[in-house]
């Protein structure tokens, strides 16, 4: 013990944080279970089963020549491409090291220690982490049918609330909130409370569910729309996401942002991916078909699942509290990596990312064996 007392580093709220549990990497599962990496199927992190677009690979090779220099801190080319795509000025865009970075930047820019953040039960784990990271007080609103209860979330906003996270579609449950309901919610939220609308899976929505949420940003100065290149665009390993918000909010986020938070390769790859319609369409088609393949198997096996609007599906693999962990282990032994969601308070469920048809089939076969 030192003369200052027992060594205890950091504030209480940092020590209270439960670390994020990522999907297991393929190499780790191969080592642990003595399997050949090439035979392992990973459907655990909602990654794009086609990998990165060829257009992005080519753009990165070209950008690699300049890696001796710092990235463009203002991300001019990428912001220009995004500004054209979403019809907003450059001053409305914040780039993130993944959209995870956007979620954290928002907490740092708008929430002080002790102030409140509202989010839903069973919503994305990073909302809790970002809130705790600034010593914020979490107001977790009970979910209805595994989705957000927006009326209850609006009612839960108290005088100390500075920020609300809404995931649409939500991860890990895959639920979706129609545009009219999101807009009705935005109308109810006090104008001094920031709403982060996290649309990481937006590109997977069927055309009838698509809504250009940048139109809401024009109407609501307290709204931040967050998007990512990690899912439909296939660039998860590069870490690039972005936010659209009005200039006052964007300016504050950019003060908190690390100047070089998005690296040069990521910026170049993202511009290419944004313009690669063919890749996006191929991914959406594969996802819609893979979803049908998964759901047909769950129905055959009489397993409950939550209808999903993302590139993954949540399925209940047993009635006892140990079901998720048990079936997960049985799947790992067969070389199939999925995501247990016990940490989300869903110990009977597993979240399966939708892969290529043969990957989905391998998972379904392994699931059948795991259940019998
Ligand atoms: C995957 C995901 C993200 C963030 O992913 P990044 O790779 O950091 O862009 C954000 N929100 C939700 C709901 C997600 O599922």
Looking at the fold, whether 117 and 148 belong to one and the same domain comes out as yes
| pLDDT for position 312 | 98
Ligand 1 midpoint to CA 58 (Å): 25
Is 38 in the same domain as 64? no
Residue-by-residue DSSP string for 234-272 = S-GGG--EEEE--HHHHHHHHHHS-TT-S-HHHHHHHHH
Q: How many Å lie between the centroid of ligand 1 and the Cα of residue 334?
A: 28
Does residue 198 share a domain with residue 143?
Answer: yes
Specify whether 150 is located in the same domain as 282: no
Residue 372 has pLDDT above 90, yes or no: no
9 confidence band (pLDDT: 50, 70, 90): confident
200-209 pLDDT tens trace: 999 999 999 9
Beta carbon of 63 within 6 Å of any ligand 1 atom: no
The total number of structural domains that make up the chain = 2
DSSP structural state of residue 5: B
| Per-residue pLDDT band at 21 (split at 50, 70, 90) | confident
Judge contact between 286 and 356, C-beta under 8 A: yes
**Do 42 and 97 fall into the same domain?**
no
Q: Assess whether the C-beta atom of 124 lies below 6 angstroms from ligand 1.
A: yes
167 lines ligand 1 (CB under 6 A): yes
Same domain, 124 and 206: yes
Q: Are residues 123 and 259 located together in one domain of the fold?
A: yes
| Any atom of ligand 1 within 6 Å of the Cβ of 171 | yes
Residues 224 and 294 in one domain: no
Nearest atom, ligand 1, residue 169 CA: 13
The pick from 47, 48, 97, 100 for probing ligand 1's pocket by mutation, whose C-beta has the most ligand atoms within 8 angstroms, reads 100
Quick check: is 6 in a domain? no
- Verify that 144 and 197 share a domain, yes or no: yes
Domain boundary among 275, 310, 334: 275
State the pLDDT at residue 16. Answer: 87
Contact between 212 and 205 under an 8 Å Cβ cutoff? The reply is: no
105, pLDDT greater than 70: yes
290-349 pLDDT, tens digit per residue, is 999 999 999 999 999 999 999 999 999 999 999 999 999 999 999 999 999 999 999 999
Ligand 1 atom nearest the C-alpha of 102 is 8
What Å distances lie between residue 87 and 8, 213, 220, 256, CA to CA?
Answer: 50, 11, 16, 25
Can you give the residue range of the structural domain that contains 131? 56-275
**In ligand 1, which atom is closest to the CA atom of 236?**
7
| Residue 1: per-residue pLDDT | 55
Whole-number Å distance, alpha carbon 152 to ligand 1 midpoint, is 24
CATH classification at residue 79: 3.40.640.10
- For residue 293, report the distance from its CA to the centre of ligand 1, in Å: 24
Per-residue pLDDT at 369 exceeds 80: yes
- Residue 288 has a pLDDT of 97
The 10s digit of each residue's pLDDT in 149-200 is 999 999 999 999 999 999 999 999 999 999 999 999 999 999 999 999 999 9
198 lines ligand 1 (CB under 6 A): yes
**Closest protein CA for atom 15 of ligand 1:** 171
Q: pLDDT of 119-136, one tens digit each?
A: 999 999 999 999 999 999
Burial per residue of 232-247, b for 16 or more beta-carbon CB atoms within 10 angstroms, e otherwise:
bbbbbebbbbbbbbbe
**Residue 9, in any domain of the structure:** no
**Domain end marker among 225, 247, 275:** 275
Query: 308 and 339, same structural domain?
Result: yes
């Amino acid at each position: 013990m030192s003369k200052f007392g027992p060594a205890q580093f950091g504030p209480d709220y940092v020590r209270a944080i439960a670390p994020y549990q990522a999907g297991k990497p393929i190499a780790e599962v191969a080592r642990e279970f003595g399997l050949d990496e090439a035979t392992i199927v990973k459907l655990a992190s909602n990654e794009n089963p086609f990998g990165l677009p060829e257009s992005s690979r080519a753009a990165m090779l070209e950008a690699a020549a300049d890696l001796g220099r710092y990235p463009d801190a203002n991300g001019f080319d990428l912001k220009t491409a995004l500004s054209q795509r979403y019809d907003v000025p450059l001053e409305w865009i914040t780039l993130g090291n993944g959209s995870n970075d956007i979620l954290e930047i928002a907490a740092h820019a708008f929430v002080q220690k002790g102030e409140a953040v509202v989010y839903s039960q069973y919503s994305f784990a990073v909302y809790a982490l970002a809130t705790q990271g600034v010593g914020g007080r979490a107001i977790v609103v009970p979910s209805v049918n595994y989705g957000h209860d927006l009326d209850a979330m609006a009612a839960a906003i108290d005088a100390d609330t500075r920020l609300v996270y809404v995931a649409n579609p939500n991860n890990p449950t895959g639920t979706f909130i129609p545009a009219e309901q999101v807009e009705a919610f935005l109308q109810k939220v006090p104008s001094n409370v920031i709403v982060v609308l996290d649309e990481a899976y937006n590109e997977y929505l069927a055309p009838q569910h698509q809504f250009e949420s940048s139109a809401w940003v024009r109407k609501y100065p307290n709204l931040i729309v967050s998007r990512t290149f990690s899912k439909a665009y296939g660039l998860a390993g590069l870490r690039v996401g972005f936010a659209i918000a009005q200039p006052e909010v964007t300016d504050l986020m950019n003060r908190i942002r690390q100047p070089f938070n998005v690296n040069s390769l990521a910026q170049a790859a993202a511009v290419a991916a944004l313009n690669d319609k063919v890749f996006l369409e191929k991914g959406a088609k594969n996802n819609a078909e893979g979803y049908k393949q998964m759901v047909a198997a769950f129905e055959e096996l009489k397993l409950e699942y939550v209808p999903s609007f993302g590139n993954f599906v949540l399925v209940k693999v047993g009635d006892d509290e140990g079901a998720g962990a048990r079936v997960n282990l049985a799947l790992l032994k067969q070389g199939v990596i999925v995501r247990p969601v016990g940490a989300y308070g869903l110990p009977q469920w597993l979240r399966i990312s939708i892969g290529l048809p043969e990957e989905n089939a391998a998972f379904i076969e392994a699931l059948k064996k795991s259940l019998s």
